[in-house]
Amino acid sequence: MSRLPAAERREQLLDCAAKLFAKQGYARATTAQLAKSAGVTEPIIYRHFKSKRDLFVALIERTGRQTLEQWERDLRGATDPADRLRRLIGDNPMVSEEGRDAYRVFLQAISEVDDEKIQQAIARHIGSVHEFLTAELAKAQQAHRVTTKYSAEMLGWLMINIGMGYGVLSAMRIPGHGKDASGVHVQDVLARVLVGQRGQSG
């Protein structure tokens, strides 16, 4: 077992936990299994996390940070508000290669929401995503690229609701979901509703 700096070991444990929880589920996975997959002893896990629950909360919090960091990277160089929204619509972290496991774990929190600490972590995660999207939508409204009939706050919730619904169906491997016989995708429809066709000023 190689010795890693504390911060690196913590991230390694979170990476292993994300894979393990995604495969076996949070409730069924054990710290003994996590220790084996990470190549450490159980006491090492408890040096970094007080409990499996604290590890789960840390995963939820990290997923939120990584989502916003990914969006920031994807929006670099995009100055047109409509183009920025199209990029966000097409960048659903629940189905991306980087975010798929983390969000499969995140979805398992639905059975743990009676745990106040876990519920608060979920609420903070969704709140930060909503705040980010609302800010982008408000800029697009100010530039007259998105309808002002509805508040940026409501449109932000619309994006989250549609994005999470699509992500859940993807995680459940529902064949053909999100696309019709002509090949039109739900992301295309959402982009058209919010920002119109490319080149239009909405």
The Cα 90–Cα 105 span in angstroms is: 21
Query: What is this structure's pTM?
Result: 0.86
Rounded CA separation 125/98 (Å): 17
Domain end, chosen from 28, 49, 70, is at 49
Amino acid, res. 126: I
Q: Are residues 21 and 60 in the same domain?
A: no
Q: Are residues 96 and 2 in the same domain?
A: no
How many whole angstroms separate alpha carbon 164 and alpha carbon 183? 21
34 plus 60 within the same structural domain: no
For residues 31 and 27, give the distance between their C-alpha atoms in angstroms, rounded to a whole number: 11
What is the pLDDT, as a whole number, of residue 105?
A: 84
Say whether both 33 and 77 belong to one domain: no
Residue 6 lies in a domain: yes
Q: Mean pLDDT in each 10-residue stretch from start to end of the chain (202 residues)?
A: 78 92 89 93 93 93 92 92 92 82 84 90 95 96 92 96 92 90 92 70 36
Q: Provide the pLDDT for residue 199.
A: 40
Contact residues for 83 (Cβ-Cβ < 8 A; gap 6+): none
Q: Is residue 121 a part of any domain in this protein?
A: yes
The domain total for the chain is 2
Do residues 127 and 178 both lie within one domain? yes
68/110 same-domain check = yes
Q: For residue 32, give the CATH number of its domain.
A: 1.10.10.60
148 within domain boundaries: yes
CATH of the domain at 171: 1.10.357.10
Residue-range definition of the domain harbouring residue 35: 1-49
